Chain A
Amino acid sequence: MHSIRLTTSSSLRALARSSLTGLKMLAAFTVVCGVAYPLLITGVAKAAFPWQAAGSLVTATGERTTDRGEAAGSALIGQSFEGDAWFLPRPSAAGDGYDTLASGGSNLGPESPDVVASIAEGRAEVAAREGVDVSQVPADAVTASGSGLDGAISPAYAALQVPRVARERGLDEATVAALVADATHERTLGVLGDPYVDVLALNTSLEQAAPADTM
């Protein structure tokens, strides 16, 4: 009994000693990994990649900027569009849609009645809007992305929207299709990820070609 108590108290003393050393080590690692390292990367990033480091911001005419005051968004982050004159993004589960302070997905499972209902509703809505059969509605048009900030749509969904946008903006379909092609990213190295169309870049170039508000 006596020896057990002795072992326990000496173990506790050893733990206390280790914790003290640990505290010194943690303080030192905090300076190196928590202050020096992020500041070093920030410095290098600002010097070498200022535009990317600031958030890949773009103006309303598609110019790169690092000034939030001039920016109309980030080339990487999706934003909401409404109305027939625009290419429309995917449904978003981030807040009320594309809310960068509430990124995330629906997290609904594959058998969830809620998600099944919203997909069915979405398919009917998109098919009516684009004047096609529901079987032609692509999956990304009716599903929410994981981030809720997905700024991309599939080439199929972009193609589906071309006739409507062309009509609304008084452009011919070939012109709009060419703009879609410009905003399309194929798989990198032919195999990475999926092909996608950058909606903000596409709508920005549309505005250059035929502004929506002059219609």
Chain B
Amino acid sequence: MTATTSDALAAVGQAGILIALLALAHAPLGGYMARVYSSPRHWRLEAAWYRVLRVDATTDQRWRTYATQVLGFSLVSVLALYGLGRLQAYVPWNLGFSGLDPAGAWNTAISFTTNTNWQWYSGEAATGHLLQMIGFTVQNFVSAAVGLAVAVALIRGFARSGTDGRIGNFWADLTRGVVRILLPLSVVAAIVLVAQGVIQNLDPHSTIATLQGGSQTALGGPVASQEAIKELGTNGGGFFNANSAHPYENPTHLTNLFEIFLLLLIPSALPRTVGIMVGDRRQGWAILGAMATIWVGALVLTTWAEMAGPGTAPQLAGAAMEGKETRFGTAASALFAVSTTATSTGAVNSMHDSYTAPGGAVLMVDMLLGEVAPGGVGAGLYGMLIIAILAVFVAGLMVGRTPEYLGKKIGQREMTLVAMYVLTTPAIVLTGAALAVSVDPGVAGIQEDGPHGLSEVLYAFASAGNNNGSAFAGLATGTGFYNTALGVAMLLGRFVPILIVLALAGRVSSQRTVPTSAGTLPTHRPLFAGLVAAVAVVVVGLTFLPVLSLGPLAEALS
């Protein structure tokens, strides 16, 4: 019953195929995205779109304007989704479901607008087709495009020299991200998913007779169209409660690999976009190297933990199969789990709450690292660039050189912004988790006593604060307290970092690019990639070790 050599070889083999597919897509997609965001010309279709909507998509904007537009767009997105959720009872194709309660609608509106897709509700029992289509699917696209836009604005800041803080046009970036990148890829991906068995229809749910004469509900819904962008946009919100463990979302061996490929596709290609836009592809390689180092490390650890199956329940059963699908087994589950938490996706093909203690701990650390390996669409890249600046600063301190990154001097103001960024999410996660375990409505949601209970709460706030959306789902979170608190965590965890990144983008954009000299720390070598990965791990270690040792580490050692 324990894992055999052929199981181990298969685990390596499927990771190898995944890496090969991503490698094939890396240069073409990375280059394409660089062209999309660098081209001065609008497509004719886009030009018409801007004209009809009377949107200025041409003016190069300063960071404050850009940030205001990000916030304005996100504000109306939250309000629209809140309204739609509340009024569900009155829209067509609602399958008879009523409106969401105020705390629930708030949570869901924030959740989908922030690219988190935390779900307190069960899709098949609470949301109709129209809410899924014009609410969730739309936000899956635009929240991903917002993340891309912010990342691109930061890249432009580094690439430009001596502007008065101009970083691009948000409306053009938003539109191009959807129209030129996400939509075409989603159309192809959705059709592939349907061919493999992911459903796509507008039928209601209705009862059928089973083979033995019992009854079961046949499900309907526009699932494939949502599934494609759910992975591609690193959103992660499942059409059904079981998410990508559900056979109608992820039916086969192939769809499982394909969905993992989709969720890693854009984040892993973005370093190439950076390299091209700053005019030195090697810089992109170093970023990618740091991302890959962390991802591979996490994958090896989690795969080992799930295949070995330490812990009382897995040992008794013979394998860590609680919460896992037979068709995926432990290795393909671990591959999905690591990729979904190392990006900001949060889709799951197996239930993380039932993972072994070390396996679950790695997933938590993946998120606590700020989801940078390779991270969410756009969000992972700007997170990693922040850590790279931190690494340059640390290295500068060690060797007594003035820190520079991508031709920009890293001075006091830049470091202040970086420090604020690095501290924001931990503050949200730790404050939120501490609050939840201190008040009755927070404690009431905990399913299990002891360290695992703390892990459930910590995981929830790590997931919300980092806009992941996966859960240790034993925690009962569909309550007023958790819906409100996690909503606040998601909101701050998304927009505070975005504001800091845009401020930094404006700052570096206004700086003149300094030529590299003998005194410049080379940031394109493997050594630097290793340093970036190490800095990411050390920062998280120092911040979270105390709480991790009370939760998953205590559980693993007990």
Chain A residues with a Cβ under 8 A of chain B: 11, 14-26, 28-30, 32-35, 37-38, 40-42, 44-46, 48-49, 52-57, 60, 68-69, 71-83, 86, 90, 94, 98-112, 115-116, 119-120, 123, 137-140, 142-154, 156, 185, 187-194, 196, 200, 203-204, 207
Contact = CB atoms under 8 A, between A and B. Distances in A.
A189 to B, nearest CB: 7
Interface centre among A16, A38, A137 (most CB of B within 10 A): A38
Nearest to B195: A49
Interface stretch (B184-192, B278-286, B505-513): B184-192
Given A35-B134, A37-B183, A192-B14, A48 B318 contact: no
A188 B68 contact: no
A155 to B, nearest CB: 10
Q: What does DSSP make chain A's interface, helix, strand, loop or mixed?
A: mixed
Interface stretch (B102-110, B307-315, B363-371, B401-409): B307-315
Contacts of B245: 103, 105, 145-147
Given A22-B75, A53-B201, 16 more contacts: A18-B71, A22-B74, A30-B134, A46-B201, A53-B194, A57-B218, A103-B245, A105-B242, A105-B350, A110-B355, A144-B323, A146-B351, A150-B325, A187-B10, A189-B13, A194-B327
Interface centre among A41, A44, A94, A142 (most CB of B within 10 A): A41
Contacts of B320: 110, 139
A93 to B, nearest CB: 9
B317 A119 contact: yes
B448 A108 contact: yes
B430 to A, nearest CB: 22
A178 B189 CA distance: 36
B354 A15 contact: no
Contacts of B399: none
Contacts of B73: 18-19, 21-22, 25-26
Nearest to B305: A110
B444 interface: no
A54 B222 contact: no
A140 to B, nearest CB: 5
B211 A11 contact: no
Given A73-B208, A103-B246, A194-B328, A116 B13 contact: no
A145 B200 contact: no
A17 B72 contact: yes
Contacts of A111: 311-313, 357, 450, 452, 555, 558
A45 B17 CA distance: 27
A78 B257 CA distance: 21
B178 A29 contact: yes
B137 A37 contact: yes
B253 A21 contact: no
Contact of B240 (A45, A76, A103): A103
Which 7 A-B pairs have CB atoms at the shortest separation, nearest pair first? A18-B72, A194-B329, A191-B13, A110-B311, A146-B245, A22-B73, A34-B134
B125 interface: yes
Given A149-B247, A188-B252, A33 B142 contact: yes
B212 A145 contact: no
